[in-house]
Structure 1
Amino acid sequence: MADSSPLTLAKELLAILDRDEGRLQRIDNFIRGKHDDPYMPPQADDEYKLLAKRAVSNWIPLLIGTPAQALYVDGFRPGTSTSGLPEASSSTSPAWSHWQRSRMDARQAAVYRGALGFGHSFVLTEKTKKGVISKGLSAKKTAALYEDPANDDEPYAAITITSRPKGDTPGRARMFDSRYEYAVSFKSLSDLDSVRVAKGRLHGSTECPVTRFAAQVDLEGRTVGVVEPMIPLQNRINQTIFDLLVAQTYTSHEVRYATGMAPPLQMEYLDEAGNVTTDPALAVDARPKLGPDGNPMPAQINHNARRFLFAEDPDVRFGSLPAGPITPLIDSVDMSIRHLAAISQTPPHHLLGQIANLSAEALLAAETALSRKITEFQSLFGESWERVFRIAAEMEGDTAGNEDYAGEVQWRDMESRSLAQAADALGKLADQLGIPKRGLWKRVPGVTQTEYEDWEQMAEDDDSVAQLANALTRATPSVSPAPAASEVVAA
């Protein structure tokens, strides 16, 4: 950092947002269903354009939602205490109180979807009148600077836009470094000469309070989500579906034809004065009705399954042209979707809906790649949440929480299995392997942090032997050893 003045940092961060704006907007368009137009002839009419509009089949939200719906933090386990033993988490702990105060039970999903869509998202931790809270920030409005973007968790500066420029009203942004927060104004992202930075104020932390949530970071520091690599495949699917719609519209129906005969013409009736009349009783003559071009207009033929065609001329021939096949195009759509499933590590039955006659082992094998991808996201996002908890602890004056690098977030088990299966498996772990039963409570499907703590409290309340032993221990002089619980019961 040759020049780390606030003005220089603000210009550099706004330049990053200006550079990435087009790429991130293209990703956002694909997420929202605004895709590239399929190829069509230069002389395409409105009917072609309507078919192109209807050919858009947006698979991108499913690629984001499938892993995002399996990511849910429902607990935080602090690190070790001074005795070296893990501390029991509690709903009244500062870390989990901060989580609930920030309403992250519901808001965490937006952080994951943003990171999976754009490659990264951010979380800002700050002091408010309600206490220290955290909130998600969009990658389209936020940028951060790292000395080593591939390995550093802590940025040395970050900026987030709070309002875009409108007319003569400049845009507003908030910039953070390791100690201060600055108010930034600018006329446009490309006009760096218009950037102004106000005097900073302390934000309450010794680190930049903005944390990056990256779905994937390579050694060059580049972040890639699940959308950008899939854009070519999404365009291929849209093109194939467009070709299918064109074939379905123009060639999928049998065409009947007749040769050697002229079509009947529309006639108009004339009265004795030679004027056109609509009363057949006054008509004395008839002539073909002429169109705007001066040519006779053919009459419309009402032909359906109850009517048949006939002609007096023996040279007239009737026939039909067969319909064009559309099955190859349907197979091509199916193949493209399978390619999308393979490259995105999404189980094919999630996209195709074909789950008939699949055994439990086949379903498990199909979801193996997705499970591995979700595990990777949990490890990446878990480290980011742990930094958020440390920054929040520092802002709240909790020195132990700020220095807790052994804490872990606890992810809810979202694997699809019945409660009976889980109970049977947990029972076998306890009986056959000797794992303490209380240690398996967290693995019960769907159990929340609050429920788990209620179970612990109820177990302590029901443990009358331990309560009696503790009472006798407190009543016994320190010179005499406290009797064991088993001895108390025997007495």
Structure 2
Amino acid sequence: MQKEQKAILELANEVLIPEWQKEREFQKKLEDWAKGEHARPYRPRETNGEYDAIEQNSKVPLLGLIVRIFGQGLELIDYAPGDEKMKDDLWKIWMANQMPSRQKRLWKAAFTGGVGYALALPGDPLPQIKLYSAKNMIAVYQDPEYDEWPMYAAEGTPANSSEFHFRVFDDTKVHTLGMNAEGGNVKFITSEEHGAGVTPVVRFAGEVDTEGAAEGEVERLIPIQAAIDQAKFDLQMTQTFSSFKIRYATGMAAPDNEDDAERVKLILAQDRILLSENSESKFGTLDGTDLQGYIESGKASKQELATIAQVSPKAIVGAQANTANGAEAQAADEASTMRKLSDFETVFSPSIGQLNRLTGALAGIEGAGADYNGRCTWRDSEIRSLAQIADAVAKLADDRLAIPREALWEMLPGVTPDKVKAWKSYEGDAFSELLEGIGRGSGGAVERTEA
């Protein structure tokens, strides 16, 4: 036991804690950019309080909006394992962990920091699923591009204002360590077996390259977000100090005292007609700076952000007068977003299956741990008009295609697998059965009375 404790302490001190601290700092930066709490735009060295106020109001937190857009478009509504007999038990675990609503936190973590994690451990009466962002958990893989399960995973949780509990997971045990806020003074606390047979952590990464590095939506967009903030700051500075006309007068005698000087300033500021007894006096105005260039600069950066992020320009730039409306036009506008969401569904589906295999094995469901034939059903968030849907379903319902009518129900927007299952359980014409029941209750056939 002493040898095992020593090995875990060495692993934590030399590898896991330094890597966790490094990743935590990096993820905090990405989180700040997503929240709009990032670095301020460039400004001149010599400034005053008015500059500070303008700079503070110049941030346009669009990165957080992009994370929300993708999170809103992604929702798992059903999981069908390879063996249908396991479905109810696996879905019961998913529902018991409130994953229909909590899954959004997992997508947000993956979109913000590049990766999110789900930890599954035995529970009473069902396995428990805990979600983590990359700010609080790391996972170490022998081959990060290929391996399904990590060699080790670790997460840090504050125990109090100055100490952390640092848990290390391997394929057999959970090791709990204690350390200070700086990652020092590491102490061994306890070890417990988790019974999963693998390191019980599942990775959800939106984009992973051949080296196993994950990248989220925020990191690549930071330079464009900085350009948008700078354009907004420059616009507000110019609007505040240079956008108004300046009236001037030359050839007038200088005021003798401060009171006269203030009176002349007031006259220049308010009078519509300026008079001077000196024939050499001249009056005129200096035009204010045109703001259109600053506005166009900010709009161009927002267009660039929408293009790189693959979201609708309407969501970033705003509605424009010459933009077509209607379901078909909106669908075309969001086609790029739909393609990206489809990619996310493709890469997240195996992780959903991996998590269900893990929780199924922890719950003792026979065959769950080896079921690689599961299928995920995601909510269809694509924009379509009612006419398009009705036309498609009507054509597919053609008797010549021999498609069962019940199979077309899933194409209807908002119809979940549970609702389809409920519909299939109905027998006969419910309205006719209702009328028959009324007739039996009245002791005979229902009579119609014509007015």
2:418 — aligned with what? 450
In 1, the alpha carbon distance for the partners of 2:149 and 2:94 equals 20
1:339 to 293, 304, 319: 304
In 1, the alpha carbon distance for the partners of 2:313 and 2:401 equals 36
Paired residues of 1:76 and 1:89 also in contact (CA < 8 A): no
Q: Over aligned residues, Cα RMSD in angstroms?
A: 2.5
1:317 — aligned with what? 282
Deviation at 1:89, TM superposition (A): 8.1
2:68 — aligned with what? 65
In structure 2, give the amino acid aligned to 1:354: A
Deviation at 1:144, TM superposition (A): 0.8
Q: Partner of 1:148: helix, strand, or coil?
A: coil
The gaps in structure 1 that reach 5 residues or longer are: 82-86, 266-287, 291-295, 463-491
Q: Partner of 2:392: helix, strand, or coil?
A: helix
Q: 1:421 to 1:289 in 2, by over 3 A?
A: closer
2:235 — aligned with what? 244
In 2, the alpha carbon distance for the partners of 1:151 and 1:303 equals 75
Q: Partner of 1:222: helix, strand, or coil?
A: coil
2:262 — aligned with what? 298
Deviation at 1:260, TM superposition (A): 2.0
Q: 1:441 to 1:97 in 2, by over 3 A?
A: same
Paired residues of 2:312 and 2:337 also in contact (CA < 8 A): yes
Q: 1:154 to 1:460 in 2, by over 3 A?
A: farther
In 1, the alpha carbon distance for the partners of 2:53 and 2:268 equals 28
Paired residues of 1:261 and 1:316 also in contact (CA < 8 A): yes
2:213 — aligned with what? 222
Once the two structures are aligned, what percentage of the paired residues are identical?
31
The gaps in structure 2 that reach 5 residues or longer are: 431-451
In structure 2, give the amino acid aligned to 1:261: M
2:165 to 172, 177, 197: 172
Q: After alignment, is 122-131 or 102-111 more displaced?
A: 122-131
Q: Deviations over 1:331-362 (max 9, x none)?
A: 11111111111111112122122355426555
Normalised by the length of structure 1, the TM-score is 0.80
Q: Deviations over 1:59-105 (max 9, x none)?
A: 101211111111001111111x4xxxxx3886xx1111011100011
1:18 — aligned with what? 21
Q: Partner of 1:173: helix, strand, or coil?
A: strand
Q: Deviations over 1:184-221 (max 9, x none)?
A: 21124543xx2223342121311111111111111111
Paired residues of 2:77 and 2:379 also in contact (CA < 8 A): yes
Q: Deviations over 1:249-295 (max 9, x none)?
A: 22211110111224667xxxxxxxxxxxxxxxxxxxxxx568xxxxx
2:397 to 415, 430, 446: 430
Normalised by the length of structure 2, the TM-score is 0.86
In structure 2, give the amino acid aligned to 1:103: Q
Deviation at 1:404, TM superposition (A): 1.2
Q: Deviations over 1:367-414 (max 9, x none)?
A: 222111111111111111111111111111102222211011210111
Paired residues of 1:145 and 1:157 also in contact (CA < 8 A): yes
Deviation at 1:146, TM superposition (A): 0.8
Aligned residues: 421
Task: Describe how 1:353-368 pairs up with structure 2 within 5 A.
Answer: 353-354=318-319, 356-358=322-324, 362-368=329-335
Task: Describe how 1:254-333 pairs up with structure 2 within 5 A.
Answer: 254-262=245-253, 298-299=262-263, 301=266, 307-333=272-298
In 2, the alpha carbon distance for the partners of 1:26 and 1:385 equals 28
Q: 1:262 to 1:399 in 2, by over 3 A?
A: farther
Q: 1:65 to 1:43 in 2, by over 3 A?
A: same
Task: Check if 1:156 corresponds to 2:151.
Answer: yes
Q: 1:326 to 1:183 in 2, by over 3 A?
A: same
Deviation at 1:437, TM superposition (A): 2.0
In 1, the alpha carbon distance for the partners of 2:9 and 2:424 equals 53
Task: Describe how 1:451-466 pairs up with structure 2 within 5 A.
Answer: 451-459=419-427
2:316 — aligned with what? 351
2:189 — aligned with what? 198
In 1, the alpha carbon distance for the partners of 2:338 and 2:74 equals 11
Q: Name whichever structure is richer in helix by fraction.
A: 2
2:119 to 120, 124, 142: 124
Paired residues of 1:144 and 1:157 also in contact (CA < 8 A): yes
In 1, the alpha carbon distance for the partners of 2:77 and 2:422 equals 15
Q: Partner of 1:201: helix, strand, or coil?
A: strand
